Structure 1
Amino acid sequence: MSDDKLNPPYNDLIGDILKKYTEQGGMDNLKGHGKPLPEEYFSGDTFQHFQRIAMDGGHKPHWLKLQHEVRDEIEAIAALYTVDPMHDLEQRISELNEKISEHNKCCPPPMLKGSVYLSNLETAMERWK
């Protein structure tokens, strides 16, 4: 039996992307290039360290971006509701709740938040600040 059938060729997509980026000079002028990493990056939970390094690099987690979008949308809906309480906002609230559901799927458990309705719009604004 051939060894190729047991061990199919390995396809390293991320490695290929990084190699191509490096060849194009993308890694030449990185902040902190050539300096050692702080010791704290080598202890504890790997995922938390990855998040810290990403935050230091200016990247926000997806759930945090969603949190800001939800907050802004709640404020926009509240402003429309204040001007015209009879305005039909059910479609926007439905789309907002879908975004809240997506947020809740990827955020840390303490950051989970409930759905928004016209009846709880004021408390939702406070909760999402």
Structure 2
Amino acid sequence: MENSNPPYNDLMGDILKKHAKDGGMENLKGQGKPIPKEYFSGDTFQHFQKIAKEAGYKPHWLKLQHEIRDEVIVLSEIQKLNIVAVSESQIVQVNQKIAEYNKSCPPPLQKGTITVESIENAVSRWK
């Protein structure tokens, strides 16, 4: 009789086994130490965030937030110095990043798009 279930595929397990075989699991921070009890209580996602933060991980939306902040500050400086006019294409590029940011960040941190007229206000919103 033929088995109708497809074979089990443990993609993450396979990746971890290959990484261990290549020596990637040696000399890990905390290796051989017991896992703190706090990791087994409360919200698993909060524990993940804490561990990721301690490891230096930044979520994509946070990296985008920093990029947008820096770009808005540059546009503001260009506008203040009146060297050249801020172009509509520069505004469109920043607004595309803002849209991507808003799709991936927590809802309370979402921000509105900018216009040439609102660059100064945007600087304070993005700092």
Q: TM-score, normalised by structure 2?
A: 0.90
Q: 1: CA distance between counterparts of 2:110 and 2:92?
A: 18
- Which stretches in structure 1 are left out of the alignment for 5+ residues? none
**Segment drifting more, 7-16 vs 72-81:** 7-16
Q: 1:51 aligns with which of 49, 52, 72?
A: 49
Count of residue pairs brought into register by the alignment: 127
Corresponding residue SS for 1:114: coil
Moved over 3 A (4+): none
Q: TM-score, normalised by structure 1?
A: 0.89
Q: 1: CA distance between counterparts of 2:87 and 2:109?
A: 26
Cα RMSD between the aligned structures?
1.6
- Which stretches in structure 2 are left out of the alignment for 5+ residues? none
Equivalent residue, structure 2, for 1:21: 19
Give the AA of the match of 1:8.
P
Q: 2: CA distance between counterparts of 1:56 and 1:31?
A: 11
Q: 1: CA distance between counterparts of 2:98 and 2:105?
A: 10
**Segment drifting more, 82-91 vs 13-22:** 82-91
**Segment drifting more, 118-127 vs 39-48:** 39-48
**Segment drifting more, 65-74 vs 10-19:** 10-19
Alignment of 1:1-129 (within 5 A): 1-3=1-3, 5=4, 7-84=5-82, 87-129=85-127
